């Protein structure tokens, strides 16, 4: 499959690489890494990594602007299971579309699709592609892919880290001599305001009867702590392994976009099918959702509490 994808990449002089809305390090590192490896291999090609919000991950590189009409252009979509979440306007204008993703399958909307939900991250898939094709990555490309992989596995802690993950990472560390502690400071450096918000979240987490921990972060709280709407989501992984909590979530008011964004994590009950009922989705143990009112958010909390109850009963 990688070789087939490589053949198509070779054929096109103009390539756009997109990923999901609400950019995260795996999405951005995979697109920038793939772009730079293609350019390093084929310097004459025009390759654009597109999408909004890349500024906050500037250590992963810069994104491009594409204003072509899609003719004679290949679109590669990374880390995105469904069409509506692609951060690129008019996906269907492109001559040929390829999807490379590690989310559970949602829908087929590309001409060629490589979906492996056993893979830790899209960066892991792109690393694999580097080894199986004649694409020539630089050390910087591998550094970025490493950071994307580390971010999606939460430093190899989630159960999406497989023996394959450790194997390929070991190979990359050996072949490219990565300085990992230096790289981590890019990924994990954060402002004091966010650490203070984390304190607030711990103080104000409520826990339901069956172990759903939730924190409501209103616009006023965001203003008090001088943090942006993504901050609650950025901190969500720090609330793993709380004895009383099986599923936990940040519920953040996003006044500008008139929605309430919810980030959900689990250390047992499957949550993506529940998130799908609330305009969201994701992985079995890491999902997101969007609702319009706090009442809807409360319904989601109840559904998750129910899932925790069933999960606890299944363990008996």
C-alpha 108/C-alpha 119 separation (Å) is: 18
Is residue 35 a contact partner of residue 2, using CB atoms and an 8 Å limit? Answer: no
Contact 106, 81 (CB under 8 A): yes
148 binds ligand 5GP (CB under 6 A): no
User: Which segment (33-41, 53-61, 158-166, 288-296) binds ligand 5GP by CB under 6 A?
Assistant: 288-296
CB within 8 A of 14, min separation 6: which ones?
Answer: 45, 46, 68, 72, 73, 74
Given the rule CB under 6 A, which of 19-27, 28-36, 159-167, 209-217 is the region that contacts ligand 5GP?
Answer: 19-27
Q: Which residue, chain included where needed, has tokens 């951060």?
A: 87
Q: Regarding beta strands 212-217 and 247-254, do their DSSP bridges make them parallel or antiparallel, or are they unpaired?
A: parallel
User: Which of the listed partners (Mn ion, ligand 5GP, none) does 53 bind, with a CB threshold of 5 to 8 Å by partner kind?
Assistant: none
70 contacts which partner out of ligand 5GP, Mn ion, none, CB within 5 to 8 A by kind? none
Distance CA 100, CA 26 (A): 12
Distances (CA, A) of 145 to 5, 126, 152, 166, 268: 18, 8, 11, 14, 28
Residues in contact with Mn ion, shown as a per-residue x/- string from 64 to 103 under the rule CB under 5 A: ---------------x------------------------
Q: Which tokens go with 46? A: 């025009």
Please give the DSSP secondary-structure letter assigned to residue 86.
Answer: B
Compose the 230-269 pattern: x for residues touching ligand 5GP by CB under 6 A, - for all others.
---x-----------------------------x------
Contact call for residue 61 and ligand 5GP (CB under 6 A): no
User: Rule CB under 6 A: is residue 85 a binding residue for ligand 5GP?
Assistant: yes
Does position 26 bind Mn ion by CB under 5 A? Answer: yes
Cα separation, 144 vs 152, in Å, equals: 13
Nearer to Mn ion, 26 or 143 (CB): 26
Contacts of Mn ion in 141-180 (CB under 5 A): 152
Find the residue with minimal CB distance to Mn ion.
Answer: 26
Cα separation of 137 and 61, whole Å? 15
User: Judged by CB, which is closer to ligand 5GP: 36, or 87?
Assistant: 87
Contact footprint for ligand 5GP (CB under 6 A) = 20, 22, 24, 85, 233, 263, 280-283, 286-290
């Amino acid at each position: 499959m990688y070789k087939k994808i490589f053949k198509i990449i070779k054929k096109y002089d103009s390539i756009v690489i997109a990923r999901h809305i609400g950019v995260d390090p795996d999405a951005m590192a995979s697109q920038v890494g793939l772009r730079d490896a293609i350019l390093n291999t084929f310097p004459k090609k025009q390759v654009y990594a597109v999408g909004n919000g890349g500024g906050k991950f500037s250590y992963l590189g810069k994104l491009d602007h594409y204003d072509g009409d899609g003719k004679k252009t290949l679109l590669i979509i990374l880390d995105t299971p469904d069409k509506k979440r692609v951060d690129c306007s008019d996906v269907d204008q492109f001559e040929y579309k390829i999807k490379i993703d590690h989310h559970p399958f949602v829908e087929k909307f590309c001409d060629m699709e490589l979906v492996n939900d056993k893979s830790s991250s899209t960066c892991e898939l792109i690393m694999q592609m580097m080894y199986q094709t004649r694409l020539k990555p630089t050390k910087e490309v591998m550094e970025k892919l490493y950071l994307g992989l580390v971010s999606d596995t939460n430093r190899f802690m989630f159960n999406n880290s497989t023996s394959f993950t450790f194997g390929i990472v070991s190979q990359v560390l050996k072949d490219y001599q990565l300085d990992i502690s230096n790289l981590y400071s890019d990924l994990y450096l954060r402002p004091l305001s966010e650490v203070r918000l984390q304190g607030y979240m711990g103080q104000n987490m409520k826990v339901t009867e069956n172990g759903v921990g939730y924190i409501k972060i209103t616009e006023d709280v965001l203003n008090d702590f001088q943090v942006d709407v993504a901050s609650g989501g950025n901190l969500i992984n720090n609330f793993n392994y709380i004895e009383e909590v099986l599923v936990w979530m940040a519920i953040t008011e996003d006044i500008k976009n008139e929605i309430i964004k919810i980030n959900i994590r689990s250390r047992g009950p499957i949550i993506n099918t529940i998130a799908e009922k609330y305009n969201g989705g994701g992985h079995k143990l890491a999902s997101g959702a969007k609702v319009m009112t706090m009442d809807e958010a409360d319904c989601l909390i109840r559904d998750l509490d129910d899932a925790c109850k069933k999960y606890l009963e299944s363990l008996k």
